[in-house]
Amino acid sequence: MFKALMVEKDDDGKTSASVQELSLDQLPEGDVTVAVAYSTVNYKDGLCIGPGGGLVRNYPHVPGIDMAGTVEASDDPRYKAGDKVVLTGWRVGEAYWGGYSQKARVRADWLVPLPDGLDTRQAMAVGTAGFTAMLAVMALEDHGIKDGPVLVTGAAGGVGSVATAILANLGYEVAAVTGRPETGDYLKSLGAGRIVARDEINEITRRPLEAETWGGCVDAVGGEMLARVLGQMKYGASVSAVGLAGGAGLPASVIPFLLRGVNLLGIDSVMQPYDNRVRAWARIAKDLPMDKLEAMIQPATLNDLPQLGRDILQGQVKGRVVVDVN
């Protein structure tokens, strides 16, 4: 028997989450059984612990879009018992049972070997949020980061915190946008050189172009903030569009694309091909300072998840939650 966070739906369509005891034969089919060590809490997890947000199809459901642990049994030649692995994306924790469980059964194709230099706890401090932040930085690098500060929006959140720490460590001046002024010292400790108040940048302006300010941007917010930022990018600079914490709409003008050659780069972590996953995890192990990662960690257990799920949907989680499922 082992423990998992189970979300059930009642006849009125209302969901509720509780920690329950399960047996191995209740796990779904898959070629690799993982003894999960740690998971984490992302925005999507907040949706899946709660009402589902259209992501969960079948109940009862075990959420948790990320997991790291040790292979216990494998029918796939790529993995053997004792291997350390990490899993993010592929709709695990949404369409499939996820990492809020002491045991998980998954497809070998979804796994990535834990990179040298990271342990399972650190991998989950990174999680989908940090992995996506790395993909966003790699996309900016591939298109060329221009002189000038690199803007990170939603900076005190998971994606933003990791993006801030990586970019600062790579030597860029980071301007961190936050709506929570009390996180200023935290963001500076991650390496932000400048704090930008959310109010300064989230109001839509009628001017499609403003002063050329940012050499690149990792955007976790979307909506009006992203629309505004596009008009503030330096000539030829790029924005990695990662998230929609501030809205899925984009009330933007095409003028920054046409007159300043600005690039808007879409970042998806879920269906990311294996080779690029391996590349991103290797870069994380190399370019994310582990002391900065440690400073982002808020520890939690399976029992804390219902509350944390509500908190993250309200933008109230700082940095990265690491869930010790055991």
| Binding residues for ligand NDP (CB under 6 A) | 42-44, 128-129, 132, 154-160, 178-180, 183, 198, 202, 220-221, 225, 242-246, 267-270, 312, 315, 317
Q: Which is nearer to ligand NDP, 2 or 186 (CB)?
A: 186
Whole-number Å distance between alpha carbons of 87 and 69: 9
Q: Which is nearer to ligand NDP, 178 or 232 (CB)?
A: 178
Q: Which is nearer to ligand NDP, 120 or 161 (CB)?
A: 161
Q: Which is nearer to ligand NDP, 33 or 238 (CB)?
A: 238
State the nearest-atom distance from the C-beta of 320 to ligand NDP, in Å. Answer: 8
State the nearest-atom distance from the C-beta of 269 to ligand NDP, in Å. Answer: 3
Listed residue (206, 222, 200) closest to 255, CA to CA: 206
State the nearest-atom distance from the C-beta of 228 to ligand NDP, in Å. Answer: 11
Whole-number Å distance between alpha carbons of 123 and 180: 26
State the nearest-atom distance from the C-beta of 24 to ligand NDP, in Å. Answer: 30
The residues that bridge with 239 in the sheet, in sequence order, are 217, 264
State the nearest-atom distance from the C-beta of 25 to ligand NDP, in Å. Answer: 33
Q: Which is nearer to ligand NDP, 7 or 152 (CB)?
A: 152
Q: Which residue is nearest to ligand NDP (CB)?
A: 157
Listed residue (128, 91, 94, 82) closest to 109, CA to CA: 91
